A and B are shown apart, each in its own frame.
Chain A
Amino acid sequence: MIRVLIVDDEPPARDKLRRWLARHSDIALVGEADDGLATAAAIARLKPDAVFLDIQMPGLSGLEVAAQLEPADAPLLVFVTAFDEHAIKAFDLNAIDYLLKPYDEDRLQKTLARLRERQGIEPGTAAVRSARSQTGPSDRLLVPQGEELQLIDTAAIHWLEADDNYVHVHTAQARFIVRRTLADLLAQLGAERFVRIHKSIAVNIAEIKTLSPLFKGDHEVTLRSGAVLRLSRRYKQELFALMGG
């Protein structure tokens, strides 16, 4: 059984896909979404095996939603688009499937056949990577807020702290907990903005106020917000090079 989420902002487009998917006994429709934020929430809540993801959507585009997913456990993604020359050209078509609107039932069946082959074997890693390479480092990050998801500006993040399978995202107002690895979060947000100062800590470069030496070659990083963090010796060279000294 493949559990599927349908995402499109136009009702007729969802109707068509729902109707055709219903003809397959091994496909279970678990939900539908009509914009980027709702999609991200549905993926987090319903954990579908596959998502039919429209690229052109209000708020977050389909590609932006994909970029926010953890590659290691992302659902299989099938991008659906009316006309998106650039996106399609950039896809590695061996790894990523897409549907061009309008598509017929034969074309959809090919896509379903590929989904069946891949299910349980590989997650949607390639699709997430490809989406990220097209959107560039994310300017906004999806974080959970109670039951909801919300978007925060990447620039507003002060520092990130890994904690088991979670990362604490510290901003001036609040601390958010996202279920991601620190390495992947940094890959999404871009190396230009964040630097690791410890195995489990990365800081927003623009937020660093001072670096002060401690005992035995250790250092302390003070952020503009007043937070004081320890710089481990392992990441010292990298940070010093970045700070120009």
Chain B
Amino acid sequence: MAPANSNRALYALWGLFWLLMIVVAVEDERQNHFIAWWEPLVWEGSSCIVATFWLALQRRVSKRWDEHLDHPRRWFGKHLAWLPLIILGFVSAAYGMRHAVYALVGRTYQHAPWGSVFVYESVKLLLFTSLWVCIIFGFASFARWQQERERLLALQKHLAESQLAQLKAQLQPHFLFNSLNTISALMQVDVPRADRLLTRLADLLRSSLQAGARQMTSLREELQLLELYAQIMEERFAGRVTLSWNIADDALEAAVPTMLLQPVLENAFKHGVERSRVPVSIRIDAIQRDDLLHVTIHNSGATLAAAHGSGIGLRNCRERLDLIYGKRASLDLVQDGDGVAARLTLPRSPE
């Protein structure tokens, strides 16, 4: 796509150049009564035809020299090496044409002796060829740069996507098997309750599998998933944890990365509930303020230890935020009163 475009632009520029040459030549000779109006047309026209032939040939042949674009000296050398052939070809073809046209109308094309013609045309063609080879170099380099850039962008995008796919929060196998064991235990005493828990686990699994296909979701859906997770955990740690939800209505439709909050809540369970000998309360707050979504997950009865936020779960969350929002989103763990709070701030849109 890009090389074709650049070829078209080059030919357009070429056309303009020759139009200018012809107009200037005709205009120059208009006052000269010894020269007929068509003569400058023949001179410049023949030059134009031969030169265009050269350009077409050059476009065809020089592709194979594109590999030398990184070494301009070699690239120019390859092109200018053809200069003697270009001069010979140009003089014979252009002058041949002019002689032919003049002969057709019964006149003679008069010009300086062949020796002078060769010297004059050589200097002219050296300048002309150099100018156009420079322009072609510019076009080819630009096309090359565009290709490289597109390739790099594609590569970056691909890389980011595969990173995101890897970072996509997954339910931890520990959670899965412990939950299954809880259900297996409940089944012995309370089948309806075991059944409810099994259904919740299935819903959570389904959501987590679907999350693989979708990058973003609404806070409403994310919270439904989070509630499923919380209900299962409450059952597993019966009596050791109470949860409270404090969600502002206008925050519910905010866009959030899928399965971003689950690992954060899991962290609160891991470092709050599982490590604690006394009952723990977990509070989830969400508000929308100044185009930013603030979500806080607070767990009581824990101090912010060095190991607290270093888990793979939170690190994944942060890397995902970086890839999606750049530096405009944040996830921080802070000591908050009698416990630890994970504070998440998200802008409205990814870009």
Q: Do A and B come from one complex?
A: yes
Distance, CA A103 to CA B181, complexed state (A): 8
Q: Determine whether A86 belongs to the interface, using a CB cutoff of 8 Å to chain B.
A: no
Q: Is the CB of A35 within 8 A of B277?
A: yes
Q: Is the CB of A12 within 8 A of B181?
A: yes
Which A residues fall within an 8 A CB radius of B? Answer: 9-13, 15-16, 19, 35, 56-59, 82-83, 100-104
Q: What's the nearest-Cβ distance from chain A to residue B198, in Å?
A: 12
Closest B-chain residue to A100, C-beta based? B177
Q: Determine whether B99 belongs to the interface, using a CB cutoff of 8 Å to chain A.
A: no
Given contacts A59-B275, A101-B181, A102-B184, contact A15 B173 (CB under 8 A): no
Given contacts A12-B186, A16-B185, A102-B184, contact A82 B178 (CB under 8 A): yes
Chain A hits for B236, CB < 8 A: 10, 12
Q: What's the nearest-Cβ distance from chain B to residue A112, in Å?
A: 17
Q: Determine whether B235 belongs to the interface, using a CB cutoff of 8 Å to chain A.
A: yes
**Given pairs A19-B185, A83-B174, 5 additional interface contacts (CB within 8 A):** A12-B235, A12-B238, A13-B178, A15-B189, A16-B184
Distance, CA A59 to CA B237, complexed state (A): 16
Q: Which of B188, B238, B275 contacts A11 (CB 8 A)?
A: B238
Q: Is the CB of A12 within 8 A of B185?
A: yes
Q: Determine whether B239 belongs to the interface, using a CB cutoff of 8 Å to chain A.
A: yes
Q: Is the CB of B180 within 8 A of A101?
A: yes
Query: Could you say which of A12, A16, A59, A103 has the most chain B C-beta atoms within 10 Å of its C-beta?
Result: A12
Q: Which of B172, B177, B277 contacts A102 (CB 8 A)?
A: B177
Chain B hits for A11, CB < 8 A: 237-239
Q: Is the CB of B174 within 8 A of A82?
A: yes
Chain B hits for A83, CB < 8 A: 172-174, 176-177
Q: Is the CB of A102 within 8 A of B275?
A: no
Chain A hits for B239, CB < 8 A: 11
Given contacts A83-B174, A102-B180, contact A9 B185 (CB under 8 A): no
Chain B hits for A15, CB < 8 A: 185, 188-189
User: Interface majority SS on B: helix, strand, loop or mixed?
Assistant: helix
Chain B hits for A56, CB < 8 A: 174, 178
Q: Determine whether B6 belongs to the interface, using a CB cutoff of 8 Å to chain A.
A: no
Q: Which of A9, A16, A19, A59 contacts B181 (CB 8 A)?
A: A16
Q: What's the nearest-Cβ distance from chain A to residue B6, in Å?
A: 55
Chain A hits for B274, CB < 8 A: 9, 57-58
Closest B-chain residue to A11, C-beta based? B238
Contact with A along B152-192 (1 / 0, CB 8 A): 00000000000000000000111011101111111011000
Distance, CA A16 to CA B172, complexed state (A): 23
Distance, CA A57 to CA B275, complexed state (A): 8
Closest A-chain residue to B186, C-beta based? A12
Distance, CA A13 to CA B172, complexed state (A): 18
Q: What's the nearest-Cβ distance from chain B to residue A107, in Å?
A: 11
Chain A hits for B208, CB < 8 A: none
Q: Can you offer 18 A-B residue contacts whose CB atoms are under 8 A?
A: A10-B182, A10-B236, A11-B237, A12-B236, A13-B178, A15-B185, A15-B189, A16-B184, A16-B188, A56-B174, A58-B277, A82-B178, A83-B173, A100-B177, A101-B177, A101-B181, A101-B184, A104-B184
Distance, CA A100 to CA B186, complexed state (A): 17
Contact with A along B28-53 (1 / 0, CB 8 A): 00000000000000000000000000
Chain A hits for B235, CB < 8 A: 12
Closest A-chain residue to B270, C-beta based? A58
Distance, CA A19 to CA B277, complexed state (A): 24
Distance, CA A226 to CA B11, complexed state (A): 94
Chain A hits for B172, CB < 8 A: 83
Chain A hits for B345, CB < 8 A: none
Q: Is the CB of B188 within 8 A of A101?
A: no
Closest B-chain residue to A18, C-beta based? B185
Q: Determine whether B141 belongs to the interface, using a CB cutoff of 8 Å to chain A.
A: no
Chain A hits for B277, CB < 8 A: 35, 58
Chain B hits for A101, CB < 8 A: 177-178, 180-181, 184
Chain B hits for A13, CB < 8 A: 178, 181-182, 185
Closest B-chain residue to A20, C-beta based? B188
* B180-217 CB contacts (< 8 Å) to partner A: 180-186, 188-189
Chain A hits for B303, CB < 8 A: none
Closest A-chain residue to B275, C-beta based? A58
Chain A hits for B183, CB < 8 A: 102
Q: What's the nearest-Cβ distance from chain A to residue B152, in Å?
A: 39
Q: What's the nearest-Cβ distance from chain A to residue B174, in Å?
A: 5
Distance, CA A101 to CA B239, complexed state (A): 22
Distance, CA A35 to CA B276, complexed state (A): 10
Distance, CA A59 to CA B278, complexed state (A): 13
Closest B-chain residue to A104, C-beta based? B184
Q: What's the nearest-Cβ distance from chain A to residue B348, in Å?
A: 38
Query: Could you say which of B173, B178, B182, B188 has the most chain A C-beta atoms within 10 Å of its C-beta?
Result: B178
Q: What's the nearest-Cβ distance from chain B to residue A35, in Å?
A: 7
Distance, CA A83 to CA B237, complexed state (A): 18
Distance, CA A57 to CA B277, complexed state (A): 12
* B206-256 CB contacts (< 8 Å) to partner A: 235-239
Chain B hits for A82, CB < 8 A: 173-174, 176-178, 181
Distance, CA A82 to CA B236, complexed state (A): 13
Chain A hits for B182, CB < 8 A: 10, 12-13
Chain B hits for A19, CB < 8 A: 185, 188-189
